[in-house]
Structure 1
Amino acid sequence: MQEDSGAVQDRRLELRADCERCFGLCCVALPFARSADFALDKDAGKPCPNLETDFRCGIHTQLRQKGFTGCTVYDCFGAGQKVSQVTFGGTDWRSGSRERAQRMFDVFPVVRQLHELLWYLDEALTLPAARPVHADVRRLLDETERLTRQTPEELGKLDVGAHRQDVNVLLLRTSELVRAGLGRGKKKDRRGADLMGARLKGTDLRGANLRGAYLIAADLTGADLRGADLIGADLRDTDLTDADLTGAFFLTQPQLNAARGSLGTRLPGSVTRPGHWAARH
């Protein structure tokens, strides 16, 4: 049974960060350390000094220039507005007690993990080759959505790891079905491979399994990644200049934002070309 396109679109919108409806949770709840990604140290539960009183980022348009590249590659998959507006009913962390604020900070990473799973499950439903498992995908998608709407107390006790494992089994099957239909020949299995700094310029990786692969600073210039499974692949500083990622699946916007690319890089419709790529040729 084909899902209503309007319902699919509405779900996708809810899985995209809407900072207007969030109380800057990622700027408070999460810790970060001074590094190439962050200009300073910040403890969990402590507001970033760039967070303004209206929960906006004071340097949003200059994050990379100010040394906060890590912020530009983070995405809560809509968990921020879910926790802010649904779990805590629109009451921000500054308005209640310190204990209430801490509960909000504790719940946010849990819901963020669930929303990331929702993103993958939703994408699985768009892949025609995975139709044999679509009924199971819808079942787990509904269950995951139900979990995101639990009370703060219930979310605090949730075994996210166990639920993630259930989802992963289904996503693995989805990957097998999709990649099996991508022509003849044995598909390259690079799952979890250490490919940091690898010279893979022009490499044929069609239908490859790159789940969890470490591709940090790898040269994939002009590589053919059509139909590759990129779930969890580390693309920090990966050079995707003129690479073809058409039909690549389980690729998220944060992964792409962490990579380098060009106007010639071909992308799947589920992601958008990062703005900082425009200056590259």
Structure 2
Amino acid sequence: MLEFDGLTKSFAGRPVLRGLSLAVRPGELYGFCGANGAGKTTAMRIALGVLAPDAGEVRWAGRRVDADVRRRIGYMPEERGLYGKMRPRDQLVYFARLSGIRPDVAARRADEWLERLGVRVGPKDPLERLSLGNQQRVQLIAALIAEPEVLILDEPFSGLDPVATDAMAGVLAEYRDRGVPVLFSSHQLDLVERLCDRVGIIRDGVIVAEGTVAELRRTAGRPEVRITLTGAPENWARMLPGVDVVAETGDTATLRTRPDTDLGELLDAARSLGELQHFGRREPSLAEIFREAMAA
């Protein structure tokens, strides 16, 4: 298990992390979400030893993360961390060898990953000639080429087209299925909702919501109901008991229930106003849950 335990960090007297704690289990994709400046990248950099915490620690398999443990972590920074003038294959081999991989094995892995992720590059082309999406794929390969035991990825889907996004998602799922804990940050909450086993939402340096998407939905604000009626009078949604109108489009209304709303009574009231075509609870998206957590 990868554990962030009570991390605090300040810069020039300004607190960025305020006792941040979270855990990523083996074989789990954990989505780390928060607004810009919330502390996501700072926490990741502490795990990699780029920054030192003011208090707290990061542990892997119960052991405090040190230089030896960090060699087992595959890290992908949000900023481009590669050499623009160097050929992609050469630097992938170089990074693999820094991790103790034999030259022949490093070269084979680099070729296999470049082919698998569809990175097309001339034999003499430097990295800077690649598209931003292909540079992002090369950066992912750099994190994977040593076959890490832990993955920490900062905005790995940034700048990717849908095909590359699917390829990246497939790779992360593969590592999860191998039992690797995978922590990644992203502002693309639809992807986080689709891919992740659990999600942690950070605000002002602490986790303010955490769980599976289903768990976060259950603890979100007042649930919503979507009703479609035909033959109903004008403004029929405002005649229903125990709800506030969120949106109306044609014959369909989205309604936010109140704590004392009886759904059976609501259903009967809707039927009394017209011909019922649809009555169902609307689950909030992760983006809506995120906005609610940011506003709390």
Structure with more contact order per residue of length (Cα contacts < 8 Å, sep ≥ 6): 2
Larger radius of gyration: 2
Q: TM-score, normalised by structure 2?
A: 0.30
- Which is strand-richer, 1 or 2? 2
Q: TM-score, normalised by structure 1?
A: 0.31
- Which is helix-richer, 1 or 2? 1
